[in-house]
Amino acid sequence: MSALLEVRGLKTHFYTRAGVVKAVDGIDFTLNAGEVLGLVGESGSGKTVASFSVLGLIDPPGRIVEGSIKFKGEELVGSPVSRMRQLRGRDIAMVFQDPMMTLTPVLKIETQMIETVLAHETVSRKAARDRSIEVLRRVGIPTPEDRIGAYPHQFSGGMRQRVAIAIALLHAPALILADEPTTALDVTIQGQIIAEMQKLVAETGTAMIWVSHDLAVVETIADSVAVMYAGRVVEHGPSANVIGRPAHPYTEGLLNSIPSRTTPGKRLNQIPGMAPSVLNLAPGCPFAPRCPYEQPACAEIPPARNIGPEHMARCITPLTRELT
Amino acid sequence: MTVFLIRRLLQTLAVLFAVSLVVFVGLYAVGNPADILLPDDATEVERQAAIRSLGLDQPLIVQYGLFLKNALSGDLGRSFVYNEPSIKLILARFPATLELALSALFIAMVLGFPLGLYAGLHPGTRMERAIMTGSILGFSLPNFWQGLMLILIFSIGLGWLPSSGRGQTGSLFGIETSFATWDGIRHLILPATNLALFKLALVIRLTRAQVRETMPLDFVKFGRARGLTERRIVGVHVAKTIAAPIVTVIGMELGSVIAFAVVTESIFAWPGMGKLIIDSINRLDRPVVAAYLLVITFLFILINLVVDLLYTALDPRVRLGGKS
Ligand SMILES: Nc1ncnc2c1ncn2[C@@H]1O[C@H](COP(=O)(O)OP(=O)(O)O)[C@@H](O)[C@H]1O
Ligand SMILES: [Mg+2]
């Protein structure tokens, strides 16, 4: 199968007054058509910046300084704004983290959906509106023909996120970037939305990058997983391998801190310390200060190592034992 | 809605009552109009007769009571100087002032909104700095000085535009206005510009601040992620978002522009209320001054009401009363 999205050596830096923020500092991952990739990492590890980089939506003072993003074989880094605009929303759609902020408050849902259709296709407003109603129905908005005339503030958070998902689905894109779409929602709604998105992308054969700081969620939805730490992908591979046999101590730490995975009564193993700031990062493996297996050799940035088929980790002593 | 209007009406009456009291006492303290109205060689008998005929021999409280009683029946007294109902004098000059004020606000909006939008969208550019420096000058240079400069340059220097008087008026939809004749418009340009300069700076700064506050919001980025053009995002999403606060502030300014027209009308000999009031103050023509201040107060209140209603119409969140 040929790759739908291939990211190689991507670096996105922000040139702030305080210094260079290396939010994304050399990441690689591959995503096949119809697959779901879980992008996991603590807050601040660069997941959102990585997603926006794919869409070419990095605003100054940030920019992509290096690397390649190939979508269906086409290089996106450095491609003209007009071309990126064609792809955005049509071939690659995005769902944002906070549904309360993503829709324009002063415009009706109708207006925002119709304009999205018309941005990429020449159809009548009526046809655009009918399609919008259909998609709203698919994402579980009751009586969409009435609700489409409402303003965003007339919806609850969960319903707004459904509307945002519907907008992402309007053009049946090949790829959806879902940036923590359930983080801002109640737990019960979270489960529903995850299940529904999983169903929707499976039905339509849409590939998806599911960004999350929660490995437990990713485990249920993703075919493969990329674990980010301080702007780098430290482990990447099929879900079953990464979660079943984590090779990087950070992945192991994340897994150990999921409550449902540890034996009841046993103390949760939190990763000690804090994620480092990506502003003026110290040289060497960024996880070393928190790593239980730290060695002198960790003072150098470890290269990516193949652990198994399509499974790589950036660690000089990849863990090879089964997780118990 | 009805309750809202009734409450506003009662508030209006209370404010008008308070203002009338302050105005009346204030004017009483300023001086005796008889001293100014009578020729220097008037005898004491003539003087007493004049004072009696003007009702100035009564105690303050009685004079005020009489004033209130007449005011309630729509009679704000007769001008000592013109011997005509003062309200008639003021209303006769009101159209000229309103025309000037509305033209000024229109100029301020039409120039200020695009300039502010540009400045807000291109921070740090040379053009932005030029616009902002210009607006500081607009704020800080005295209005009368700006007026004199306008006359010096466009009237005396270049000889393009007349600098004094209202010019020829004509009838447009049954209203006597300068807009009906070319001569009238030519006469209007300089005074309206003078009055506009003062508010232009305000519109520029307000628009720029609103744009800079709105552009980083998620919905702008979401618009881009959907493939909308920058034109659509700024022209519809951002413009509509900032319209409500800007229209509100500008609307509120109409009252102060009408009040500030006093200076402009004096410089350009514009035959409006402002010029009348300056003349009346000089001649201690109490009823005219009192009527003017009450009319201005009433206008302020009316404008606030209209602006409130307008804001409700522009912002759906207010109109529908929050979450449903
Ligand atoms: N516009 C920006 N200017 C400066 N730094 C930024 C900007 N956007 C993101 N960053 C920094 O990049 C890092 C990664 O951010 P982000 O991708 O949002 O993390 P995540 O989504 O994984 O929580 C953070 O340290 C953040 O402070
Ligand atoms: Mg994020």
- Do B235 and B156 reside in the same domain of the chain? yes
Token pair, residue A200, equals 């929707």
What is the structure's pLDDT at A261?
64
The larger pLDDT score, comparing residue B18 to residue A321, is at: B18
Cα angle: A86, vertex A123, A96; to 5 degrees: 45
What is the structure's pLDDT at A323?
43
- Do B118 and B246 reside in the same domain of the chain? yes
Chain B residues close to A116, C-beta within 8 Å: 226-228
Tell me the β-bridge partners of A94.
A177
CA distance B135 to chain A (A): 27
Q: What is the C-alpha separation between A207 and A186, in angstroms, rounded?
A: 25
Does a structural domain hold residue B108? yes
Sign (positive or negative) of CA dihedral A231, A237, A242, A243:
positive
In this structure, are residues B234 and B117 in contact, taking their beta carbons and an 8 Å threshold? yes
Chain A residues close to B221, C-beta within 8 Å: 52, 57, 96
Domain boundaries, position B18:
2-72
Chain B residues close to A86, C-beta within 8 Å: 227
> Average pLDDT, whole number, for chain A?
87
State the DSSP code for A294. Answer: -
Query: Residues of chain B with pLDDT > 90: what percent?
Result: 18
Q: Considering only CA atoms, which of A224, A239, A165, A225 is closest in space to residue A200? A: A165
pLDDT over threshold 60, residue A105 = yes
pLDDT over threshold 90, residue B42 = no
Interface contact flag, A89 B241, Cβ < 8 Å: no
Q: What is the C-alpha separation between A132 and B117, in angstroms, rounded?
A: 32
Q: Does B224 touch chain A (CB under 8 A)?
A: yes
- Do B247 and B196 reside in the same domain of the chain? yes
The larger pLDDT score, comparing residue B307 to residue A262, is at: B307
Measured between CB atoms, which of B217, B226, B317 is closest to A153?
A: B317
Does a structural domain hold residue B137? yes
Measured between CB atoms, which of A55, A89, A103 is closest to B219?
A: A103
Lowest mean pLDDT among A141-150, A313-322, B108-117, B124-133: A313-322
Residue A23 CB less than 6 A away from ligand 1: yes
* pLDDT digit string, tens, across residues A55-104: 999 998 999 999 999 999 999 998 999 999 999 999 999 999 888 889 99
A87 to chain B: nearest residue by CA? B227
ipTM rounded to 2 decimals: 0.89
Q: What is the C-alpha separation between B74 and B294, in angstroms, rounded?
A: 12
Q: Compute, in angstroms, the gap from residue A46 CA to the centroid of ligand 1.
A: 6
- Do B6 and B121 reside in the same domain of the chain? no
* pLDDT digit string, tens, across residues A218-231: 888 899 999 999 88
- Do B160 and B48 reside in the same domain of the chain? no
* pLDDT digit string, tens, across residues B161-177: 777 777 677 676 666 77
Does a structural domain hold residue B78? no
| Structural domains of chain B, count | 2
pLDDT over threshold 90, residue B21 = no
Q: Considering only CA atoms, which of A142, A135, A119 is closest in space to residue A167? A: A135
> Average pLDDT, whole number, for chain B?
82
* pLDDT digit string, tens, across residues A112-127: 999 999 999 999 999 9
State the DSSP code for A275. Answer: P
- CATH 3.40.50.720, applies to A5-36+45-82+226-313: no
For the ranges A154-163, A295-304, B38-47, B134-143, the maximum mean pLDDT occurs at A154-163
What is the structure's pLDDT at A292?
83
- Do B110 and B152 reside in the same domain of the chain? yes
**Residues written for chain B:** 324
**Residues written for chain A:** 324
- Do B55 and B136 reside in the same domain of the chain? no
What is the structure's pLDDT at A263?
63
Does a structural domain hold residue B323? no
Q: What is the C-alpha separation between B94 and B296, in angstroms, rounded?
A: 10
Residue A217 CB less than 6 A away from ligand 1: no
Does a structural domain hold residue B79? no
In the block, residue with structure tokens 């039905």: A203
Least distant ligand from the CA of A24: 1
Interface contact flag, B237 A116, Cβ < 8 Å: no
Least distant ligand from the CA of A47: 1
Residue A71 CB less than 6 A away from ligand 1: no
Confidence band of B323 (pLDDT split at 50, 70, 90): very low
Confidence band of A322 (pLDDT split at 50, 70, 90): very low
For the ranges A227-241, B70-84, B160-174, B280-294, the maximum mean pLDDT occurs at A227-241
Interface contact flag, B241 A90, Cβ < 8 Å: no
- Strand A62-71 relative to strand A74-75: parallel, antiparallel, unpaired? antiparallel
Can you give the CATH number for the domain in which B125 is found? 1.10.3720.10
Residue A44 CB less than 6 A away from ligand 1: yes
In this structure, are residues B104 and B200 in contact, taking their beta carbons and an 8 Å threshold? no
* pLDDT digit string, tens, across residues B118-168: 999 998 889 889 888 888 887 778 777 887 787 777 777 777 877 777 767
Measured between CB atoms, which of B219, B232, B317 is closest to A102?
A: B219
- Do B67 and B177 reside in the same domain of the chain? no
Chain B residues close to A154, C-beta within 8 Å: 320, 323-324
In the block, residue with structure tokens 């902002």: B132
Does a structural domain hold residue B80? no
Segment B57-71 mean pLDDT: 80
Chain A residues close to B219, C-beta within 8 Å: 101-105
Where exactly are the structural domains of chain A?
5-36+45-82+226-313
User: What kind and span of H or E run contains A30?
Assistant: strand A19-32
Tell me the β-bridge partners of A235.
A227, A313
Segment B227-256 mean pLDDT: 89
- Do B52 and B100 reside in the same domain of the chain? no
For the ranges A140-154, A249-263, B39-53, the maximum mean pLDDT occurs at A140-154
What is the structure's pLDDT at B157?
75
What is the structure's pLDDT at B151?
75
Sign (positive or negative) of CA dihedral A270, A273, A274, A277:
negative
- Do B19 and B102 reside in the same domain of the chain? no
Q: Does B226 touch chain A (CB under 8 A)?
A: yes
- Do B63 and B99 reside in the same domain of the chain? no
Interface contact flag, B226 A57, Cβ < 8 Å: no
Q: What is the C-alpha separation between B153 and B116, in angstroms, rounded?
A: 26
Q: How many helices (H) and strands (E) does chain A have?
A: 11, 12
In this structure, are residues B308 and A143 in contact, taking their beta carbons and an 8 Å threshold? no
pLDDT over threshold 70, residue A324 = no
CA distance A24 to chain B (A): 19
pLDDT over threshold 60, residue B255 = yes
- Do B244 and B288 reside in the same domain of the chain? yes
pLDDT over threshold 70, residue B20 = yes
